[in-house]
Amino acid sequence: MTLHELYLAMLIGGLVLLASIVGTRVATRVGFPALLFFLLVGMVLGHDGLGLDFDSIEMARNICTAALAVILVEGGLTTRFADIRRVLAPAGALATVGVLVSTAITAAGAHFLLDFDWQLALLLGAIVSSTDAAAVFSVLRVLPLPRRLAGLLEAESGFNDAPAVILVLMFSVVPFVFEPAGTLGEIGFELLAGAVIGLGTGLLGAVTLRRIALPASGLYPIATFGLGVVAFAAAGSVHASGFLAAYLAAVVLANSGLPHRSATRSFAEGLGWLAQIGLFVVLGLLVRPTELAGDIVPAIVIGLVLLLVARPVSVAVSLIGFGVPLREQLFLSWAGLRGAVPIVLATFPIVAGVTGSSRLLNIVFILVVIFTLIQAPSLRLVAGLLGLTSGEVTREIQVEAAPLDVLDAELLTMKVQSPSRLHNVTILELRLPDPAVITLIIRNGHTFVPLPDTRIATGDELLIVTTSKMRAAAEARLRAVSRRGRLAHWFDEYGNLE
């Protein structure tokens, strides 16, 4: 590549990046999933669009695998352990038992309904069996779900990529020999080894970063993110699950009280978005729209089997004995979003030389596009119909302000809905735990600083500043008063999570 060609490539890449960012803003406003916009950008640039001929499946697989690792590290660094601690067991069941059940049912549908041979059917089932971390994380940022349910979705999407990758690699062997006992043993080893490497890297990194003083604060986010990438690569090099290792290492680092946490999360989110944009644009370049028409019907058939049968059954079987309410199980079934992961996994058997596997890429691509358009925009409606949304769920606001990091403080926001008993409660009567304070109220478009005798009103948006240690107690007090009023403790209501 000459210097002129390098400049041209960088110019095109920069313009594509900026167009994708602008498109994300527009897509969010109109309710169009951002990932589909990125795919569209890739298709416009590709062979059937502006003519950029990119057909290296192996290069695409490698680029996208690295991007998935970055997305999982970002997801781990933005995960609060308090949110997922109580749901680790059911999330683990969904990520293992759920993936196996979903793979089996989807594979049976592909074999008996579409006459796929068993290797291609099992590959297709494994490819679409896991929920997509990037899609789920983006939904959880804007959808006010109960903390337990959001944590369950978050943990499942972080864990279940690993079993899916293992299954796809095992089913991609040529010649194909399926041995159930050996399959389960290999899955167990890769997951256990990946978990050990991820947790070990996270703990060692947290201890080290606490004891050393780096010369610039900007190095802490880079070091933290780098440790997640190291966990991914180290696990992969010994044939363990790199995806699980990366996610667990990042979760440990994010919840170890390391300095410059807000800067680290902002840095991780920026890299996560960059990885998503690059990943989806590359996948869009691979697809040729003129070749998709023949696989639309098979994709819809498999998508319906997955959405209406495989996902609900896998959720129901995985959550037996965990006491998850039926309405939450129904939402989990509908919220099984597919995104980049299945499309990336569809490239694995092509690189391995599995006969007929190139067709899987088109089927998975169509399935992801159609069912993302159906599921993603409807999640808020479904959650509302099931009675799972609440405007009175506090949300963390990411603020780039050094004092918040120095004080280990967090800024939360909460909107008071009409059924809430926070209405007419004064700031003094609210009695938030110290140190936690309502610093600002937004009412009917006007902003003011409340006094102790200021009464909270329905429709108010409250801005609350508290410390990380007192955040849970402050949220619990807000929930308690919202449910039973200023005398909540007299009614034995302490705002515990449902």
pLDDT in tens, 52-72: 777 788 888 888 889 888 988
Kindly tell me if the per-residue pLDDT of 40 is higher than 60. yes
Answer whether 134's CB lies under 8 Å from 71's CB: yes
pLDDT band at 121, cuts 50/70/90? very high
pLDDT digits (tens, 9 = 90+) for 197-221: 999 999 999 999 888 877 777 788 8
Give the C-alpha separation, 349 to 336, whole Å: 23
Clarify whether residues 350 and 484 are in a common domain.
no
Q: Is the pTM of this model over 0.85?
A: no
Clarify whether residues 399 and 477 are in a common domain.
yes
- In a domain? residue 5: no
b/e per residue 7-18 (b: at least 16 CB within 10 A): eeeeeeeeebbe
Clarify whether residues 431 and 358 are in a common domain.
no
* C-beta pairs of 111-114 under 8 Å, 24+ apart in sequence: 113/301, 113/305, 114/298, 114/301, 114/302
Q: Quick check: bond before 175 cis, omega within 30? A: yes
Q: Which helix (H) or strand (E) holds 406?
A: helix 402-406
Kindly tell me if the per-residue pLDDT of 10 is higher than 70. yes
Clarify whether residues 242 and 221 are in a common domain.
yes
Would the CA dihedral through 262, 28, 40, 287 be positive or negative? Answer: positive
Clarify whether residues 378 and 443 are in a common domain.
no
Clarify whether residues 455 and 339 are in a common domain.
no
pLDDT at 161: 82
For residue 294, give every residue at least 6 positions away whose Cβ sits within 8 Å of its Cβ, in sequence order, or none: 362
DSSP 424-461: T-BHHHH-PPSSEEEEEEEETTEEEPPPTTPBP-TT-E
Give the C-alpha separation, 23 to 17, whole Å: 10
Clarify whether residues 375 and 422 are in a common domain.
no
Clarify whether residues 254 and 381 are in a common domain.
yes
Domain that holds residue 446: 395-491
Size (the chain), residues? 498
Q: Quick check: bond before 215 cis, omega within 30? A: no
Clarify whether residues 251 and 233 are in a common domain.
yes
Clarify whether residues 309 and 269 are in a common domain.
yes
Average pLDDT of the chain is 83
Q: What CATH number has the domain bearing residue 458?
A: 3.30.70.1450
pLDDT at 401: 45
Tell how many helices (H) and how many strands (E) occur in the chain.
22, 5
pLDDT digits (tens, 9 = 90+) for 318-364: 999 898 899 999 999 998 888 778 888 888 999 888 888 888 988 99
Task: Pick 291 or 203 by higher pLDDT.
Answer: 203
Answer whether 166's CB lies under 8 Å from 123's CB: no
- For 14, what's the count of Cα atoms within 13 Å in the CB-facing half-sphere? 6
- In a domain? residue 443: yes
Kindly tell me if the per-residue pLDDT of 397 is higher than 60. no
Clarify whether residues 378 and 399 are in a common domain.
no
Residues 397-415 have a mean pLDDT of 63
Kindly tell me if the per-residue pLDDT of 22 is higher than 80. no
pLDDT at 402: 46
pLDDT at 385: 87
Helical spans, DSSP H, in 31-80:
34-45, 57-77
Residues 104-131 have a mean pLDDT of 92
- In a domain? residue 2: no
Helix axes 88-114, 147-159, angle to 10 degrees: 60
For residue 165, give every residue at least 6 positions away whose Cβ sits within 8 Å of its Cβ, in sequence order, or none: 241, 243, 345
- Retrieve residue 128's tokens: 């679409």
Kindly tell me if the per-residue pLDDT of 398 is higher than 60. no
Q: What CATH number has the domain bearing residue 349?
A: 1.20.1530.20
Clarify whether residues 227 and 183 are in a common domain.
yes
The total number of structural domains in the chain stands at: 2
Judged by average pLDDT, the poorest of 231-240, 283-292, 355-364, 405-414 is: 405-414
Kindly tell me if the per-residue pLDDT of 115 is higher than 80. yes
- Retrieve residue 392's tokens: 């009175």
